[in-house]
Amino acid sequence: MKNFKKIAGLALAAALAVGTLTSCKAGSGSKLIMATNATFPPYEYVDGKTMKGIDIDIANALAKKMGKKLEIEDVEFDSIIAGVSQGKYDFGMAGMTVTPDRKKNVDFTDSYANAVQSVIVAEDSPIKSVDDISSKNKIGVQQGTTGDIYASDSPKNGGYGEDAVVKYKSGPDAVEALKQGKVDCVIIDNEPAKAYVKANKGLKILDSAYANEKYAICVKKGNDSLRKDLNKALKELKDDGTIDSIVSKYIKE
């Protein structure tokens, strides 16, 4: 009896292990696993216990069009590309900017949004424009984002150098540091910047924008069938006005 229990237990454990392996693995027929980093309103954020935002709504609409079930995993931003290229997630959608470097590791769909990098400062900051920022400042960024990449670049390439940059796990963490005076400014995408400034007193966004970017969905390199299916569904959602109506639900100009 004891042995039987043990064997049954082992069999159950093995079945569970196989079950988790297959259910966690991306690329399994009827389900799409998306990776995001839900600290980035209005694209993805956590409201109570649910993830909300433009990317979440677009992803759901895409999955519906493709006849698949969508599962969303909320992970660190700088682990999305690695996870997608290892096949842990089918795709990454996280207000992610297309860059030549990222293209070496993943493939991107057509773009579904434009963005610019903005600079957030305290209302009474001596930094009045982007030109006032120098390597002497402490610049807060979300680790692994384009804001981080630009700011960390050498001054001769238009950045401020690694020593000037303080990297945080999320945009809200960087903004919190700004409020506490630990950094002099935060460089981050314009829409999240607006959302953070709205949610926190005493902050403002500098008029001059920093860089223009395009957001797209990343898939594993060479996963052309998924990339094409996503592009087809994206185009349909653009053409029938779904994308516009999702965006205007979250961004009111």
Where does this chain bind ligand ARG (CB under 6 A)?
Answer: 36-37, 39-40, 44, 77, 94-97, 142, 145-146, 189
My answer on whether omega of the bond before 155 falls inside 30° of 0, hence cis, is no
Report whether 59 contacts 72 (CB < 8 A). Answer: yes
Nearer to ligand ARG, 113 or 133 (CB): 113
Shortest Cβ 233–ligand ARG spacing (Å): 21
Shortest Cβ 40–ligand ARG spacing (Å): 3
Nearer to ligand ARG, 176 or 236 (CB): 176
Report how far apart, in Å, the C-alpha atoms of 26 and of each of 22, 44, 71, 88, 165 are.
8, 21, 10, 5, 35
Nearer to ligand ARG, 102 or 220 (CB): 102
Report whether 90 contacts 182 (CB < 8 A). Answer: no
Closest CA to 186 of 97, 121, 108: 121
Nearer to ligand ARG, 40 or 237 (CB): 40
Please say whether the dihedral angle defined by the alpha carbons of residues 77, 82, 84 and 89, taken in this order, is positive or negative: negative
Shortest Cβ 34–ligand ARG spacing (Å): 12
How far is 199 from 48, CA to CA, in rounded Å?
16
How far is 79 from 204, CA to CA, in rounded Å?
30
Nearer to ligand ARG, 132 or 176 (CB): 176
Shortest Cβ 216–ligand ARG spacing (Å): 10
Shortest Cβ 51–ligand ARG spacing (Å): 11
Provide the token pair at 118. Answer: 């903005």
